[in-house]
Amino acid sequence: MKVVIQRVSQSSVTIDSKIVAEIQKGLLILVGIEDSDGQEDIDWLVGKITKIRVFDDENHVMNLSVEDIDGDIIVVSQFTLHASTKKGNRPSYIKAAKPDIAIPLYEKFVKSIEFVLAKKVQTGVFGADMKVSLLNDGPVTILIDSKNRE
């Protein structure tokens, strides 16, 4: 699994001109799932995401996690994170998991974050044409690949 974590002052997801998710201070997480991903990837990433210290403390040092600040989270599925651009100019998405594999893992990922934070996580709609808006705070943007955990 690959995730892009963005520290935001606000973020929302709109589908067909209707806002389906909206948060203030917290994290926007774009998640890409591949066929080889499983529960170990979810568990490791959720631990990282909920504990990663990207929010400022009273000394303006990034020393607090989303959990520490009681921040909100939006999770959006994004298969394009697994784009291969090695050949030609048209990205290949061969590594991205098909919906029958990706949807259950995506749902487990969201539920796992909710369990750890003991709060509702906002989401986009898997496979939908979404308009994602954000006010990146910092900017702070971090890419994490669960296959690079060692």
Catalytic site includes residue 79: yes
Catalytic site includes residue 78: yes
User: Could you report the per-residue pLDDT of 126-150, keeping only the tens digit for each?
Assistant: 989 999 999 999 999 999 999 998 7
User: Could you report the per-residue pLDDT of 51-100, keeping only the tens digit for each?
Assistant: 999 999 999 999 999 999 999 999 999 999 988 888 889 998 988 999 99
Q: Classify domain 2-148 at the CATH topology level.
A: D-tyrosyl-trna(Tyr) Deacylase; Chain: A; (3.50.80)
Instruction: State the catalytic residue, choosing from 6, 50, 55, 78.
Output: 78
DSSP state letter for 24: S
For residues 17 and 39, what is the distance between their CA atoms, to the nearest angstrom?
34
Catalytic site includes residue 85: no
pLDDT of residue 88: 87
pLDDT of residue 84: 87
Instruction: State the catalytic residue, choosing from 6, 50, 55, 79.
Output: 79
For residues 64 and 47, what is the distance between their CA atoms, to the nearest angstrom?
14
What are the residue ranges spanned by the domains of the chain?
2-148
